[in-house]
Amino acid sequence: MGRAVRFVVALTLGLGLLTWIGHLTLTHTTRRWFERDIELRARLAVASARRSLVRHWAAGEEGGLPDVLADITRDERVMGTAACDLDGHLRAATPGFRDAFTCPRILSRLAAQGVALDAPADWSLTVDLRGGPVHLYGVELPEFSPRGFVVVVHDLSFLSRREATTRNQLLLAFFVLALAAAGITVVAARLAWRGWQDDLRRALRGDGSRQFQPLVRDVRELVARLSQERDADARGGEWSPERLRGVLTQHLHGERVVIVANREPYIHEKTPEGGVRVVHPASGLVTAIEPVMRACSGVWVAHGSGSADRETVDARDRVKVPPGEESYVLRRVWLTETEEAGYYYGFSNEGLWPLCHVADTRPEFRDEDWEQYRKVNQRFADAVCDEVDSDDPIVLVQDYHFALAPAMIRARLPRATIITFWHIPWPNPERFGICPWREELIEGLLGSSIMGFHTQQHCNNFLDAVDAFVESRIDREHNAVVQRSRRTLVRPYPISIEWPVHWLDGLPSPAQCAADVRRELGLAPDALLGVGIDRLDYTKGIEERLAAVDMALERHPELRGRYTFIQLAAPSRTRIPRYQELNDRVEALARKVNERWSEGAYRPVVLLRSHHEPPAVFRYFRAANLCYVSSLHDGMNLVAKEFVAARNDERGVLVLSQFTGAARELTEALVVNPYDLSEASEAMAAALRMPEAEQAERMRAMRSLVAHFNVYRWAGRMLVDAAQLRSRERLSGRLTRVGTRAKELLP
C-alpha cells in the first residue's frame, strides 16, 4: 500500500507540473490573441463609421458626432470613445471616456511613449489604470479638419478575469484527472496481478483454459490490426509519391487505376510556326490529380481538346505522358462541336456549375444539353471499360461533368470499385431540387462505391438530397447510402497539392522574383505587391477583389503610389455569354481603378488576362507581399495552398475568403467575407503592414499543414478506404457463395 501511495503522489506532482507549464503557455498565447482581437475590432469599428466621422467632425459636440461615437461604443468591451483635437480640446466623448480620461492626458502619454503625431496615422497603447489595464486605439483621418483623432478605449480587465477562470478550471480538471488516473492505475495493476496469478495457478494445476486461447489470440490480433491502422498515418511519415505507391502495392496488389476527367493534363497545341507545344491547363483538378497519376501510373481518360491532340496519339488514341517522363497513359476521347456545346458548355457549365455555387447566377437547363450530357457520359464510360484490365478494376471518376458515368460503368463492370470525387460544392436540397434531372443525377452517382467531397457539409447536403429525391436507405451512422443492397460510402476528402511543388525547382529566390516582377512591370523597387490568380470565373470574386483594392487605396492614403495589385486571369469557358460579360466588366473595373489612382508611371491594378504556365504563376506567388483569394463560393481553392507552398521564405500574407473549403484548413490566413469590401480592404492594409515575425509565424503554421495534408494523402486515404471496401465485398461474396452451396447440399 505504501508503494501505491508513493506512486499516486509522484503521478500527482508530475501532472501538476505539466498542468502549470501548460497554463503559463496558454496564458501568454491567449493574452496575445485577445489583445490583437481587440485592436482589430477597434480598427473595424472606426473603419465602418469612417464616413459619418468625417461628416460630423467639424460640428463637434453640437452636431451628430456624439451619436457616431455612441455607435462605436456598442461593443460591450468598449469603455468609451472620444474625439480630441491635437491641441488637447475634447470635441465629443461618451460618458465612459469622461470618467477615466482627458484629451491632454492621452496626448502626454503619447509623447511619453514617443508616438509622433506629425501625419495622419493610427496608433495603439496599453495603459494601467487603478481598475485594471485598458487598451487605447487612436486614429487620425486625413479628412479631419481641424486635425485630431478618434480614440477607442477597451477594458482589458476581463483578460485577468478570464485568465483566473481558466487557471481555476485547469487546476480543478487536473485534480480530477490525477485522482482518476491514479485510481484506475492502482486498480488495474492489482487486477492484472491477481488475474495473472490465477492463470498461473490454473496452468500449474493443469486444468488450463485452452478453449479461450484462440479467442485471446483473435482479440490480440484484432487490437493489433486496429492500432496498426490508427498508427499507420503517423508511422508512415509524411505522405509522398513513394508512400502512395506503397499503398497501391500493399493494399491493392499493385493494381493500376483508371481516371476519367474532362480536362486532360497535357494539351498539344499547334504553334503559328507550324510546330507543336505542350500546354498545362489552368485547372484545380489537373493540379491535384496529375501528381497522383505520376505516382500511381495507369490511364487518364479525357477529352482531347488541343489543336494538335490528334496528331500526337497512337492508333488507339493514346499518348504516354508527361512528355519526356512517360509514367502513365493519356487516352483521348474526341467530341463533336455539338457534343461539346451541349455536354460541356451547356449542361455542365451553364447548368450544374451555377447550380452548385452560390454566386447569384441562374442555372440554365435545356433538353438538348441534357441529351448530349447523357450521350457523352456513356462514351466516356465505354472508354473507361475499354481501358481496364480486369473485371474488378479501380476507377476514379472526376467531377460534375460525369455524374452519370458511375452507374454506366457499374452496369458493364458490376464488380468495379468506383471512387467518384465531386470537386465543387454540393448545394442544399432546395437548390439542388431545381434541376429537372435531379433523380437521374443522383442515381448515376450512386453507381459509385465511394462518393467523395471536400467537406463534411457537402457530404451532408448530398445525403439530404438523396433522402429527398430517391428511394434508398441512408445509414447516417456510417455515412452511407444503401440501394438495392448496394452501398455507397459518402466521405469528406479535402483535396490538396503535391508537396514539395516540383514547379518551384530552379525558380529564383522570392526576393529575386519580387525584384524581377517590379522591374518588368515598371514599378518602383520598393513597390508593395498583391496578387490574385484565377480562371476568369464569376465564382472567384474578381470584381469584389478589385473593388476592395480601390477601397484600400481610398482609406489608406499611405498605400497610394506604393501598392499594386497584379491579377492573372486565365480566359475560361469563353463561349458562354456570362463569362464574356464578366471579362468586359473586370476590364472596365480595372480601368476605372487605374484612372482614379494612377500617378505618373504608377498604376494600382495590373490585369494580365492570359494563361500562364505554372513556373510563371509560382514566380508571381513568390514575388507578392500578399495573395488575395476572394471566391464567392469554392469547393476548396488550390491557389491558396499554392501560395503557401511557394513561400519557403515564410513571408507574405494570405487573405482568404471564408467561402472557400481552404478557409477551414488555413486558419492562420486573414479570413474575410469578400462581399464586405470594408473588411476585405482593411485586411489587405493589415497584411501590408504586418510585422515580418507575425508573417513567418502564420506562414510556418500553414506550410506545415499543407505539407502534411498534401495530395498524396488525399489519394492515399481514398485508396485505403477502397481497399477495405474491396476486401469486405470479397469476403461477403465468399460467404454468400458458401451459403448458396450449403443450401444446395441440404436435403
Among 82, 419, 617, 670, binds ligand ADQ (CB under 6 A): 617
Looking at the Cβ atoms of 347 and 643, the one nearer to ligand ADQ is 643
Distances (CA, A) of 732 to 221, 423, 586, 729: 21, 32, 57, 5
The span of 64-72, 233-241, 528-536, 683-691 binding ligand ADQ (CB under 6 A) equals 528-536
In eight-state DSSP terms, residue 237 is -
639 binds ligand ADQ (CB under 6 A): yes
* Collapsed DSSP state (helix, strand, coil) of residue 627: strand
User: Do residues 655 and 628 lie in contact, with contact meaning Cβ atoms separated by under 8 Å?
Assistant: yes
Cα–Cα distance measured from residue 491 to residue 470, given in angstroms and rounded to the nearest whole number = 19
Taking the complex as a whole, the smallest distance from the CB of residue 280 to ligand ADQ amounts, in Å, to 8
Looking at the Cβ atoms of 144 and 421, the one nearer to ligand ADQ is 421
Looking at the Cβ atoms of 303 and 535, the one nearer to ligand ADQ is 535
Binding-site size, ligand ADQ (CB under 6 A): 25
The span of 103-111, 146-154, 295-303, 530-538 binding ligand ADQ (CB under 6 A) equals 530-538
User: Do residues 498 and 508 lie in contact, with contact meaning Cβ atoms separated by under 8 Å?
Assistant: no
Looking at the Cβ atoms of 147 and 578, the one nearer to ligand ADQ is 578
Cα–Cα distance measured from residue 7 to residue 336, given in angstroms and rounded to the nearest whole number = 79
Over the window 221 to 250, marking each residue x when it contacts ligand ADQ by CB under 6 A and - when it does not, the resulting string is ------------------------------
∠ CA 463-464-469 to the nearest 5 degrees?
A: 100
533 binds ligand ADQ (CB under 6 A): yes
Amino acid at 656: L
Looking at the Cβ atoms of 182 and 607, the one nearer to ligand ADQ is 607
633 binds ligand ADQ (CB under 6 A): no
349 binds ligand ADQ (CB under 6 A): no
Among 535, 545, 619, 698, binds ligand ADQ (CB under 6 A): 535
Looking at the Cβ atoms of 82 and 495, the one nearer to ligand ADQ is 495
The span of 201-209, 285-293, 518-526, 598-606 binding ligand ADQ (CB under 6 A) equals 285-293
* Collapsed DSSP state (helix, strand, coil) of residue 701: helix
Looking at the Cβ atoms of 424 and 653, the one nearer to ligand ADQ is 424
Amino acid at 216: V
Is the peptide bond between 429 and the residue preceding it cis, with omega within 30 degrees of 0? no
User: Do residues 390 and 417 lie in contact, with contact meaning Cβ atoms separated by under 8 Å?
Assistant: no
634 binds ligand ADQ (CB under 6 A): yes
611 binds ligand ADQ (CB under 6 A): yes
* Collapsed DSSP state (helix, strand, coil) of residue 702: helix
The span of 1-9, 300-308, 336-344, 632-640 binding ligand ADQ (CB under 6 A) equals 632-640
The span of 152-160, 222-230, 638-646, 664-672 binding ligand ADQ (CB under 6 A) equals 638-646
In eight-state DSSP terms, residue 726 is H
Taking the complex as a whole, the smallest distance from the CB of residue 568 to ligand ADQ amounts, in Å, to 4
The span of 172-180, 248-256, 582-590, 634-642 binding ligand ADQ (CB under 6 A) equals 634-642
491 binds ligand ADQ (CB under 6 A): no
Over the window 550 to 589, marking each residue x when it contacts ligand ADQ by CB under 6 A and - when it does not, the resulting string is ------------------xxx-------------------
Specify which residues 328 forms β-bridges with.
Answer: 321
For 283, list phi and psi in degrees, rounded to 5: -150, 130
Among 42, 261, 495, 582, binds ligand ADQ (CB under 6 A): 495
Among 81, 283, 417, 625, binds ligand ADQ (CB under 6 A): 283
Cα–Cα distance measured from residue 731 to residue 562, given in angstroms and rounded to the nearest whole number = 67
For 91, list phi and psi in degrees, rounded to 5: -85, -40
Cα–Cα distance measured from residue 352 to residue 424, given in angstroms and rounded to the nearest whole number = 10
In eight-state DSSP terms, residue 508 is P
Burial class of residue 325 (count of CB atoms within 10 Å of its CB; 0-12, 13-18, 19+): exposed
Match 507552398 to its residue by C-alpha cell: 645
284 binds ligand ADQ (CB under 6 A): yes
Contacts of residue 111, defined as CB under 8 A and 6 or more positions apart, other chains included, come to none
* Collapsed DSSP state (helix, strand, coil) of residue 340: helix
Residue nearest to ligand ADQ (CB): 284
Contacts 24+ apart (CB under 8 A), 317-325: 319/266, 321/265, 321/266, 322/265, 322/266, 322/290, 322/294, 323/266, 323/278, 325/294
282 binds ligand ADQ (CB under 6 A): yes
638 binds ligand ADQ (CB under 6 A): yes
In eight-state DSSP terms, residue 352 is I
The span of 31-39, 527-535, 575-583, 671-679 binding ligand ADQ (CB under 6 A) equals 527-535
Specify which residues 136 forms β-bridges with.
Answer: 125, 153
∠ CA 428-434-437 to the nearest 5 degrees?
A: 105
Contacts of residue 690, defined as CB under 8 A and 6 or more positions apart, other chains included, come to 653
Over the window 288 to 327, marking each residue x when it contacts ligand ADQ by CB under 6 A and - when it does not, the resulting string is x---------------------------------------
Taking the complex as a whole, the smallest distance from the CB of residue 643 to ligand ADQ amounts, in Å, to 9
706 binds ligand ADQ (CB under 6 A): no
Looking at the Cβ atoms of 139 and 288, the one nearer to ligand ADQ is 288
Specify which residues 565 forms β-bridges with.
Answer: 530, 605
Taking the complex as a whole, the smallest distance from the CB of residue 506 to ligand ADQ amounts, in Å, to 18
Over the window 124 to 163, marking each residue x when it contacts ligand ADQ by CB under 6 A and - when it does not, the resulting string is ----------------------------------------
Taking the complex as a whole, the smallest distance from the CB of residue 531 to ligand ADQ amounts, in Å, to 11
Looking at the Cβ atoms of 138 and 425, the one nearer to ligand ADQ is 425
Report the sign of the C-alpha dihedral through residues 309, 315, 321, 324, in that order.
Answer: negative
- Which residues contact ligand ADQ by CB under 6 A? 282-285, 287-288, 423-424, 495, 533-535, 568-570, 611-612, 617, 634-639, 642
